[in-house]
Amino acid sequence: MKFTERCLRILNYAESEAIKKTKVIYPVHLLMGILLERTGVCAELNINYPSLIKIVNERVKEMQFVREDKGISYEPFTTNISPITKHVLDIASDRMKRFNQVYINEGHLLDAIFRVNDQSTKKILEGLDVSRIFEIVAYPRDMIVSLKEYSLPKIPSTNITYKRVEQSDAALLKTFIEKEFGNGWLDSIENGFLNVKIPIFMALDEEHIVGFACFDVVRRKKGLFGPMGTSFSNRVKGIGYTLLHFCLREMKEIGYEYAVIGEAGPLEFYEKACNAVVIPRGS
């Protein structure tokens, strides 16, 4: 399994909490890890639900855990985990794969904690505003990027070529998108081809499309970045990063002061790639 950097910190917090109490990592320790993290949507959760960590801590102190003799060894932990914790991580991994992603993030993890059939976890969560917690941490979130001081960063040199899409590319691009991501984005892509200067960029490995990104195409909303996608076999190679920045540079040149990334899934990618921040939910 691969985890985002924030998720790895959450797992470290979880392990530290388990060492203090049970010596085996249970799902509730994963929840405590999320509450102890102070970046991104985890920070927002603490701001919106400040009493939550105290409530969970008090309930954990009262719990009588069903203790395995030793637990089981499981990376990336150095402390053993319970079988139900392994099940949580497996559910998180399945959710990640279902969304065609590469790294397990805090949203996948929280969703798995809530879904697992673990009586101890259910007692911890009893009476808490689970839907509120879930909406903040596990739902796709809108993000915003300031373009006021934006400049194109140094783009890594690779054998991948990038170009603005032309009308003649329409059929190949739509075929690529439908094959890799289904037909949900095709209407938005059609909107892009209504422009004289098409706001879509694509990445090519020789003559094969391996990725694309666009803006101003979803419902023809101005200043809205996306959708963006890279073929699964070409993820984590910097292709999405480069496509993102080609779009942001264009948006800056048009005169936009901000770019909105709608319903971003990999939040941490955008935080690191372009200093995007999550737009807070109303309380």
For the stretch 94-106, pLDDT in tens is 999 998 888 999 9
Which amino acid, residue 201? F
Q: What predicted TM-score, i.e. pTM, was given to this entire model?
A: 0.90
Closest CA to 56 of 37, 76, 42, 36: 36
Q: Which of 119-128, 191-200, 225-234 has the highest mean pLDDT?
A: 191-200
pLDDT for the residue 282:
63
Q: For a pLDDT cut of 90, what percent of the chain falls above it?
A: 82
Topology (CATH level 3) of domain 5-139 = Double Clp-N motif (1.10.1780)
Lowest mean pLDDT among 60-69, 76-85, 217-226: 60-69
Residue with structure tokens 């963006």? 228
Q: Is the pLDDT of residue 67 over 70?
A: no
Q: Is the pLDDT of residue 69 over 80?
A: no
pLDDT band at 108 (very low <50, low <70, confident <90, very high): very high
Q: What is the mean pLDDT of residues 207-211?
A: 94
Q: Is the pLDDT of residue 70 over 80?
A: no
C-alpha 20, offset from chain centre:
30
Lowest mean pLDDT among 12-16, 100-104, 257-261: 100-104
User: How many other CB atoms sit within 10 Å of the CB of residue 32?
Assistant: 23
Q: Which pair of tokens denotes residue 60? A: 């954990």
Which amino acid, residue 190? E
Q: For a pLDDT cut of 70, what percent of the chain falls above it?
A: 98
What's the order of all strands across the beta sheet hosting 200-205? Answer: 161-164, 200-205, 208-215, 224-230, 258-264, 141-146, 277-278
Kindly list the domain boundaries of the chain, sorted by start residue.
Answer: 5-139, 144-278
* Residues shown for the chain: 283
Q: Is the pLDDT of residue 157 over 90?
A: no
- Does 3.40.50.300 match the CATH number of domain 144-278? no
> Helix (H, G, I), strand (E, B), or coil: what is residue 31?
helix
pLDDT band at 66 (very low <50, low <70, confident <90, very high): low
CA dist list (Å): 48 to 59, 81, 144, 231: 20, 30, 20, 37
